[in-house]
Amino acid sequence: MTIGELLKEYRITQGKKQKEFTHNGAIVSQSYYSKIEKNAHHITADSLIELLHYNNIPLWDFFSRINQSDEIRHQQIKEFNNMLVEAYYDGDINKIKQVKERVIKSSLSDKDKQEELFLIEAWLEAMKGPTEKPNKELRAQVKDKIFNLPNFNPSNVALSCNFMHFYDLDSNKIIARRIIDQYLNSKNIKMQVALIAIIVNIVVFSLKEKRENEITFFIESAKKIKTRPELVFYKIVLYFFENIVNYHLTKNEKYYYKSQNIKNLLVKIGMTQYGKVLENLLTTYK
């Protein structure tokens, strides 16, 4: 519920017309107030407080209802986004389509629904196989959306991390630098994991394009993230790629063997599938 909608509800409950509610236009002109109720105009904090006092509406009561509405909306969007991420990593396209139906039937505003449906289409695009025709227009929209963000939040960081393969290396580096600058000192484990994942992707893409001499900033940034138990796996993977890069740059076999030892360690502790992935990378980058 918006401020305008809640003001209208209180006004109607009190049985007042807009002219009476605005103290005959002394607080806010009737024509301007009419547009506030329609969400076409904003109201200043001073005018809002004066309006609430004039109509004997407790400030706490009014703002608690606004906050309650925002919290419900926030939790609903958070739930949908968590379901999308889980379905993405499970490779469950049907589950993502089910989320789409739930969003359509939800009580979210039209604007919020539009945002969530756009995100769902982006996730579905990210799950396409190499033989499926890409939706270039959608990918361009996702790219523009991320580039135009003034700041990143945890949800947007996850979005950019999982859609990195949509973009060219230079675009990814620009986005990654912005995220690193904003969150490098974060103590949040999930954010730290996302940062390392983004950096690993940058390293992998740089290797593919033989531009591994351009990634010093990213490797050094990752080293500034303190190693904690929850980050051990991600740090190990980064160390694997760091040594592959060093091998490429110096041709010193010791770095190649370090990467090989990391792969062997992961296989020994039961991560056989991931070990096979790293083995293929070792063969590719030899």
HSE-CB at 153 with a 13 A cutoff on CA atoms is 3
Predicted local confidence at residue 63, as pLDDT: 80
> Residue 126's closest CA among 80, 75, 81, 91?
91
Fill in the amino acid letter for 219: I
In sequence order, the 6+-apart residues with CB closer than 8 A to the CB of 285 are: 207, 244, 247, 248
Strand spans (E) along the chain:
none
In sequence order, the 6+-apart residues with CB closer than 8 A to the CB of 217 are: 177
HSE-CB at 63 with a 13 A cutoff on CA atoms is 7
CA distance 165 to 126: 8
In sequence order, the 6+-apart residues with CB closer than 8 A to the CB of 151 are: 182
> Residue 282's closest CA among 265, 198, 255?
255
Task: Select 3-57's CATH number: 1.10.260.40, 2.120.10.30, 3.10.580.10, 1.20.140.10.
Answer: 1.10.260.40
Reading the chain (286 residues) residue by residue, the pLDDT tens digits are 678 888 998 898 888 999 999 999 999 998 999 999 988 888 988 899 999 999 998 887 788 777 666 667 777 887 888 888 778 777 888 999 999 999 998 888 888 889 889 888 988 888 888 899 989 898 888 877 777 776 777 667 877 887 888 888 998 999 999 999 989 998 888 889 889 999 999 999 999 899 999 999 999 999 999 999 989 999 999 999 999 999 999 999 999 999 999 999 999 999 888 888 889 888 888 7
